[in-house]
């Protein structure tokens, strides 16, 4: 949405190809630890020990980590929209995301996301992940906003469903122009 996915199946597929990993073995190992990794129960070193560096590799841990971080790229148009909304001062901006601690911190710093969001409900800190209903409820509790005053935006339908169940407005983002139109219908405009 604002950034490319940090470490989703496409990004992992690119890593498999670049570093010559066995795709099936890597995905199997990833699935065994991803929940702990994104919930902050396993750090990046532990994740890499379990998925990549359990055996000798002809590349360094640093090279692999650098590649992982490089997969985070900005959606400049979406970032501009979010910055405009934040600058307007008319909306409270919060985010719910599934990310490991190290990738989360890198992305927040690299793309100055603290300038946009007043609250980060990140899986690595709260021990919950989308689409678990409790992470959305936690976000509502932390923002002290009623659901009908909130709009949850995501590109995946399965992540929108719990927010809808709680009574939030929901927008499935497909393009920035479409998102802007749907926000305008809700009376939300950027600066």
Domain coverage including residue 92:
76-185
Looking at the structure, tell me whether residues 51 and 81 fall in a common domain. Answer: no
What pLDDT score was predicted for residue 6? 87
Could you give the CA distance from residue 150 to residue 130 in angstroms, rounded to a whole number?
Answer: 17
Could you give the CA distance from residue 118 to residue 82 in angstroms, rounded to a whole number?
Answer: 12
Structural domain tally of the chain?
Answer: 2
**Last-in-domain residue among 70, 96, 115:** 70
CATH number reported for the structural domain that contains residue 37 in this entry: 1.10.150.240
Looking at the structure, tell me whether residues 137 and 50 fall in a common domain. Answer: no
What pLDDT score was predicted for residue 189? 81
Return the HEC string of 20-32: CCCHHHHHHHHHH
What pLDDT score was predicted for residue 190? 67
CATH number reported for the structural domain that contains residue 88 in this entry: 3.40.50.1000
Per-residue pLDDT of the chain (191 residues; tens, 9 = 90+): 899 988 999 999 999 999 999 999 999 999 999 999 999 999 999 999 999 999 999 999 999 999 999 999 999 999 999 999 999 999 999 999 999 999 999 999 999 999 999 999 999 999 999 999 999 999 999 999 999 999 999 999 999 999 999 999 999 999 999 999 999 999 998 65
Q: What is the pTM of this model?
A: 0.93
């Amino acid at each position: 949405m604002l950034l490319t996915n940090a470490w989703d199946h496409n990004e992992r597929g690119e890593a498999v190809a670049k570093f010559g990993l066995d795709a099936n073995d890597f995905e199997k190992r990833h699935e065994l630890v991803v929940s702990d990794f994104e919930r902050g129960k396993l750090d990046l070193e532990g994740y890499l020990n379990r998925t990549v560096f359990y055996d000798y590799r002809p590349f360094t841990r640093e090279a692999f980590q650098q590649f992982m971080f490089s997969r985070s790229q900005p959606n400049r148009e979406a970032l501009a929209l979010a910055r405009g909304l934040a600058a307007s001062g008319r909306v409270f901006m919060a985010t719910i995301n599934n990310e490991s601690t190290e990738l989360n911190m890198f992305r927040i710093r690299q793309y100055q996301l603290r300038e946009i969001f007043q609250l980060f409900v990140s899986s690595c800190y709260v021990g919950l992940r989308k689409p678990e209903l409790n992470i959305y409820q936690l976000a509502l509790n932390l923002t002290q906003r009623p659901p009908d005053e909130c709009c949850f935006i995501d590109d995946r339908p399965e992540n929108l469903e719990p927010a809808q169940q709680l009574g939030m407005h929901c927008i499935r983002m497909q393009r920035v122009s479409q998102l802007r139109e749907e926000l305008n219908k809700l009376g939300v405009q950027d600066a």
